[in-house]
Amino acid sequence: MATQQKPTGTPVLASGKALAWIDERFPLSSTWKAHISEYYAPKNFNFWYAFGSLALLVLVIQIVTGIFLVMHYKPDANLAFASVEYIMRDVPWGWLVRYMHSTGASAFFVVVYLHMTKALLYGSYRKPRELLWLFGVGIFLCLMAEAFFGYLLPWGQMSYWGAQVIVNLFGAIPFIGPDLSLWIRGDYVVSDATLNRFFSFHVIAIPLVLIGLVVGHIVALHEVGSNNPDGVEIKKNKDANGVPLDGIPFHPYYTVHDILASAIFLIVFTAVVFFAPEMGGYFLEYNNFIPADPLKTPPHIAPVWYFTPFYSILRATTSQFMYALIAGVIAYVALVLLKTRLSGAIKTAIAVIGAVIVIAMFVFDAKFWGVVLMGASVVILAGLPWFDHSPAKSIRYRPTWHGYVYLVFGIAFLALGYLGVQAPTPVGTLVAQICTFIYFGFFLLMPWWSTMGRFSPVPDRITFQPH
């Protein structure tokens, strides 16, 4: 009697049954289809659209390396620096994990800044993606908080004194400033209490908020759909099955695209980690390899490079600069009153608010307004969807001179970043003050300049040349 052989498709059937069992209890297949295989993205993506996936990759690197660092780090003022040295010298491959984490922090901001540049160029913050942009700004704020809280943890000279300077800035806030600084530090100076609370925020609190915002960012993106270099909504043109005519499935077309971008990124990232992890003192300052000494102040205290554009705005706000700011506020209020079609009540409210701000500029000192401008320079990004009134989203269909406006803004931002690293000089301060006006003018004057000039007609369908 011949023995009965098992069908060759048994493993496939078993995996199918396992998937069906999961789908009955968890929407695995439907989630995969909705967000990956049947999520239709514009077919004219270029290299700018890889930075969102790269940001997610760096987030994973930071979380994984952070977990391994926490296993050996001691959040104690007497042991923190020694524990970092222990990780670098005695833990197997600890030096690699530490350098991946420190390099990853800078890489995160490089990728995020480029991702935001793409949004500026192609109008990815415009309707219907306002909430998507606000999630992104929230992620950026969380990254800055995460980097700030993590900056103290090595307990080196620059970590200690950098945290001391930044926390003391809150003392410039009228009435509540001194108590707020004391509450943040947990002591009258940066001490063990400060280290412990910064460690808690860096390892637990901020990452939880950050992950939540990232999930919200991705869900919002897949709800409204991705923007594209033409700024055309692909959902407006669909076939009989409801599939966008100018869309292609994210998988496999853009998963391959992102894998290639990730491979290139990891090659560059690895080269930096192995050959230049300090990056000439920009990624890891030389003073941070010296234990924190509360009795010895470094000759020049400056934050890490990704904070320096905003720190430069803070330093540029001097007593003399306040007169220029007052003139700027008066001129801007006059522009709003004369060149807008707002109702009389709203114009009256704007005039009153402007008058209050001008009076407050005479009452409170320049240090306070420096802190205000530094905070406003980040928060103002959230208003971008409502500042931009351009008929075309993408820079491709805007007047040529709009590109020069973006270029001047970019140069001013880079100049602020460079000056924030350098020791203050009279010439450097003057340049930083000019760049501060350019930075804020770019956003506050956008309702007017974004509508000026001759715009090219925006096509109904996206333009695409296969390659």
- The pLDDT tens digits for 72-116 are 999 999 999 999 999 999 999 999 999 999 999 999 999 999 999
Is the domain 27-300 a CATH 1.20.810.10 member? Answer: yes
pLDDT at position 10 over 70: no
Q: Where are the chain's structural domains? A: 27-300, 302-452
Q: What mean pLDDT comes out for the span 440-445?
A: 96
Question: In the predicted model, is pLDDT for residue 153 greater than 60?
Answer: yes
What are the φ/ψ torsions at residue 27 (nearest 5 degrees)?
Answer: -75, 60
Residue 101 among known ligand-binding residues: yes
**Ligand-binding site membership of 115 (annotated):** yes
Range 7-26 average pLDDT: 78
H-helix or E-strand spanning residue 148: helix 130-151
What's the pLDDT band for 13 if we cut at 50, 70, 90? confident
Does 300 carry a binding-site annotation?
no
pLDDT band at 282 (very low <50, low <70, confident <90, very high): confident
Q: How confident is the model at residue 36 (pLDDT cuts 50, 70, 90)?
A: confident
Q: Write down the pLDDT at residue 11.
A: 59
Domains 27-300 and 302-452 equal at CATH topology level: yes
Alpha helix stretches (DSSP H) within 152-205: 157-169, 177-185, 192-200
pLDDT at 1 over 70: no
Report d(CA 267, CA 289) in Å as an integer: 27
What are 399's strand-pairing partners? none
Quick one: tokens of 255? 């998963």
> What does the block give as tokens for 226?
């991705």
pLDDT: is 106 or 460 the higher one? Answer: 106
Residue indicated by tokens 């999630």: 135
pLDDT band at residue 5, thresholds of 50, 70 and 90? Answer: low
pLDDT at position 294: 87
Burial class (CB in 10 A: 0-12, 13-18, 19+), 193: middle
Higher pLDDT, 171 or 263: 263
pLDDT tens profile 329-387: 999 999 999 988 888 889 999 999 999 999 999 999 899 999 999 999 999 999 999 99
Q: Is the peptide bond before 447 cis (omega within 30 degrees of 0)?
A: no
Interval 166-179 mean pLDDT: 87
- Kindly tell me if the per-residue pLDDT of 222 is higher than 80: yes
467 annotated as belonging to a binding site for a ligand: no
Return the SS3 of 26.
coil
Q: What is the maximal distance between C-alpha atoms in the chain?
A: 104
Checking if the pLDDT of 4 tops 80, the result is: no
Query: Residue 7's pLDDT is what?
Result: 55
Q: Is the pLDDT of residue 465 over 80?
A: no
202 is known to lie in a ligand binding site: yes
Tokens (6 digits) for 141:
């704020």
Give me the percent of the chain exceeding a pLDDT of 70.
97
pLDDT at 264 over 60: yes
Find, among 268, 307, 332, the residue nearest to 416 by Cα. 307
CATH class of 302-452: mainly alpha
Q: What is the mean pLDDT of residues 245-253?
A: 90
Q: Is the pLDDT of residue 164 over 60?
A: yes
Q: What is the pLDDT of the chain when averaged over all its residues?
A: 91
Q: What is the mean pLDDT of residues 115-137?
A: 95
Tens digit of each residue's pLDDT (9 = 90 or more) over 285-320: 888 899 998 888 888 788 889 999 999 999 999 999
155: left (phi over 0), alpha (psi -120 to 50) or beta: left
Q: How far does Cα 79 stand from its chain's mean position?
A: 32
- pTM score above 0.85: yes
Query: CA 15 to CA 213: how far, in whole Å?
Result: 34
Instruction: State the pLDDT at residue 162.
Output: 86
**For residue 233, is pLDDT > 60?**
yes
Beta strands in 359-436 (DSSP E): none
